[in-house]
Structures are given as structure tokens and as C-alpha cells.
């Protein structure tokens, strides 16, 4: 894999998809449909999916591609694949809360190794460089020229005063019960894969997810967090979260900065 080409293409496609998403986000109204799993989907999801999938297939025709909006046609049949959630946080998008992201990642050997997370409504972009280091880009987000890149890394957590981030749309009692096992100094809510990125930048230490997610929801954020020195583990046995499962469904998990004293579920 040409990682430099991959990073360039993923970044550009995320920006192109973000432009289309924001065009629809700014319109007076847009149709919201319901998928077979009862989750919402909009024309922004579908338009962004086409931009990204067409671009990735043109640039990397020999690499398996998995996208949320085409998942009914996918089966995991290799340990290297590209995986996309063109609009993560559709509920945030529908409610115009801004916490939605474009997610593109490469999985190798069951591990997300490269990825980009772009939050167009918040003007924040996080991605991994060719060597796997995670950065946040600032500037004008030009398609063919990277702006200022700031290396990011997880915090050195204080286990007596942890910073916890939880889902904005999927917070429940089971999550609160687990968080109660820790000494927490501050709690914040965020939508989509931004939660991984807040840990990657040191803005949070811990993100437990006691609820259903799919691999396309987490792979890009997971790659960014890995590149910043963090990790994502299964909730049940604290082993690394792996990708390429037959149905692409994740178990419950915990994303964390290195040094967090993880509690058993």
C-alpha cells in the first residue's frame, strides 16, 4: 500500500464529501428515510457515500471497499480493506447539532492503521500521516494542499480525576453505571467519531461504549487514536478491538488514553 497516496486521497475525498454534506445541511429541508435496521439515512449520507466510494475505487481498485451505505452487498473476505462511514452521526446532522463526521479508514490485519475523521460543521480534521502518526490540520482545508499539521497525542491521565466523554445520542444507564466505577473530574458529551479524536488530542481520557456500533462507525477514529498513542479494547475482556468480523458488528468497547486504569465490566 502506498500510504502517502492513501492519506492524500482520503483527505481530499473527506473534504469533497464534507462540502456536499454542508450544502445539504444548509438547505431548508431534506428527506429523512429509515433503513432496514431502523436507523435514519439522508440524501447527504448517500451523496457523500458516492463521492468517497467512487474516489477510492478509482484510486485503489484492487483493495476491498466497505461502506455503510452499501453494506448489504459486503462480506468480510480479507484482512486488508478500506472502510467508510460517509456521514457518522446522522442524528446529529438531522437535528443540526454539528457533531457529525466523515470517516475513512484502512484496516490491515484486523487493525485500523490509517484514517481520517473530518467534522465539516466544526471545521476540525484529524488524520494519520503515511507513517501512522496522528495529526490535526488547521487552516483553510484546501483540497490539494495540506494546511498546518499539529501532531496530537493522548494525555497522561490522572486516574483520580479522569476526563470522560460519552455519546450525545446514545447515553444510557449502563454507560453511566460503568463510568461510576471511575473517579471523574469532568464529563462531556459528543457525537459521532469525534469522541475518539477528543481522546487523541488529550481533551478526554476515556470513552466507554455500551451499545451497538458497526466497524465503519469506529475504524477511522480508532486509527487516529492509535496514531496518538491511545487504544480501543473490548468491554468484556479488555483485549484489542478487531476488525473484519463477518457482519461488521462491534462488541461493546472502551477507547482510552494509555495509562488509564481500566475497570472490568
Which CATH number covers residue 26? 3.30.540.10
Determine how β-strand 162-167 pairs with β-strand 184-190: parallel
Q: What is the pLDDT of residue 70?
A: 83
**Cα-to-chain-centroid distance, residue 124:** 13
Regarding whether 92 and 16 lie in a shared domain, the answer is: yes
What is the mean pLDDT, run by run of 10 residues, along the chain of 265 residues?
97 98 88 72 92 97 91 70 94 90 97 98 97 97 97 98 86 90 95 95 97 95 98 97 93 97 91
Does a structural domain hold residue 251? yes
H helical segments located in the chain = 3-25, 43-59, 90-94, 173-179, 194-200, 215-227
Q: What is the pLDDT of residue 191?
A: 86
Residue 31: is it exposed, middle or buried by C-beta count within 10 angstroms (0-12/13-18/19+)? exposed
Separation CA 265–CA 257 (nearest Å): 18
Regarding whether 125 and 28 lie in a shared domain, the answer is: yes
**DSSP three-state, residue 11:** helix
Separation CA 75–CA 64 (nearest Å): 10
Does a structural domain hold residue 223? yes
Would you give the DSSP letter of residue 215?
H
For residue 67, what are the CA distances in angstroms to 53, 87, 88, 202, 238?
Answer: 8, 11, 11, 29, 27
Regarding whether 13 and 137 lie in a shared domain, the answer is: yes
Length of the chain counted residue by residue:
265
Domain range holding 176?
A: 162-256
Separation CA 192–CA 189 (nearest Å): 10
Regarding whether 191 and 133 lie in a shared domain, the answer is: no
**What string of H, E and C letters represents the secondary structure of 69-99?**
HHHHHCCCCCCEEEEEEEEECHHHHHCCCCC
Q: What is the pLDDT of residue 13?
A: 98
Q: Which domain-ending residue is among 151, 179, 205?
A: 151
Regarding whether 69 and 48 lie in a shared domain, the answer is: yes
Does a structural domain hold residue 39? yes
Q: What is the pLDDT of residue 37?
A: 67
Q: What is the pLDDT of residue 29?
A: 77
Determine how β-strand 162-167 pairs with β-strand 231-234: unpaired
Does a structural domain hold residue 58? yes
Does a structural domain hold residue 97? yes
Q: What is the pLDDT of residue 77?
A: 62
Regarding whether 116 and 12 lie in a shared domain, the answer is: yes
Q: Which domain-ending residue is among 102, 122, 151?
A: 151
Rounded to a whole number, what is the largest CA-CA distance in the chain?
50
Does a structural domain hold residue 213? yes
Grid cell 476526563 in the structure block, residue = 163
Q: What is the pLDDT of residue 32?
A: 79
Does a structural domain hold residue 264? no
Separation CA 67–CA 195 (nearest Å): 21
Q: Which domain-ending residue is among 120, 151, 182?
A: 151
Q: How many domains does the chain have?
A: 2
Would you give the DSSP letter of residue 169?
S
Does a structural domain hold residue 157? no
Separation CA 25–CA 29 (nearest Å): 8
Regarding whether 199 and 244 lie in a shared domain, the answer is: yes
Taking the model in full, what pTM does it have? 0.94
Regarding whether 176 and 138 lie in a shared domain, the answer is: no
Regarding whether 167 and 189 lie in a shared domain, the answer is: yes
Q: What is the pLDDT of residue 31?
A: 76
Regarding whether 13 and 133 lie in a shared domain, the answer is: yes
Regarding whether 142 and 180 lie in a shared domain, the answer is: no
> Phi and psi of 252, rounded to 5°?
-60, 150
Amino acid at each position: 500500500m502506498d500510504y502517502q497516496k492513501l492519506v492524500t486521497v482520503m483527505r481530499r475525498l473527506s473534504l469533497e464529501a464534507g462540502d456536499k454534506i454542508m450544502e445539504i445541511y444548509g438547505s431548508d429541508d431534506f428527506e429523512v428515510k429509515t433503513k432496514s435496521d431502523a436507523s435514519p439515512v439522508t440524501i447527504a449520507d448517500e451523496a457523500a457515500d458516492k463521492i468517497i466510494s467512487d474516489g477510492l475505487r478509482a484510486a485503489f481498485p484492487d483493495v476491498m471497499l466497505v461502506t455503510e451505505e452499501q453494506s448489504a452487498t459486503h462480506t468480510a473476505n480479507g484482512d486488508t480493506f478500506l472502510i467508510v462511514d460517509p456521514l457518522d452521526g446522522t442524528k446529529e446532522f438531522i437535528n443540526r447539532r454539528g457533531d457529525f463526521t466523515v470517516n475513512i479508514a484502512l484496516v490491515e490485519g484486523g487493525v485500523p492503521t490509517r484514517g481520517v475523521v473530518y467534522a465539516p460543521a466544526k471545521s476540525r480534521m484529524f488524520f494519520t500521516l503515511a507513517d501512522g502518526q496522528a495529526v490535526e490540520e488547521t487552516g483553510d482545508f484546501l483540497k490539494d494542499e495540506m494546511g498546518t499539521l499539529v501532531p496530537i497525542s493522548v494525555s497522561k491521565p490522572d486516574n483520580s480525576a479522569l476526563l470522560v466523554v460519552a455519546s450525545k445520542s446514545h447515553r444510557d444507564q449502563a454507560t453511566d453505571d460503568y463510568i461510576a466505577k471511575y473517579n471523574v473530574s469532568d464529563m462531556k458529551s459528543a457525537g459521532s467519531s469525534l469522541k475518539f479524536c477528543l481522546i487523541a488530542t488529550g481533551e478526554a481520557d476515556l470513552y466507554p461504549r455500551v451499545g451497538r456500533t458497526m466497524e465503519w462507525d469506529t475504524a477511522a477514529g480508532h486509527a487516529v487514536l492509535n496514531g496518538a498513542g491511545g487504544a480501543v479494547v473490548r468491554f468484556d475482556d479488555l483485549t484489542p478491538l478487531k476488525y473484519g468480523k463477518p457482519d461488521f458488528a462491534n462488541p461493546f468497547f472502551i477507547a482510552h488514553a494509555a495509562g488509564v486504569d481500566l475497570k472490568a465490566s
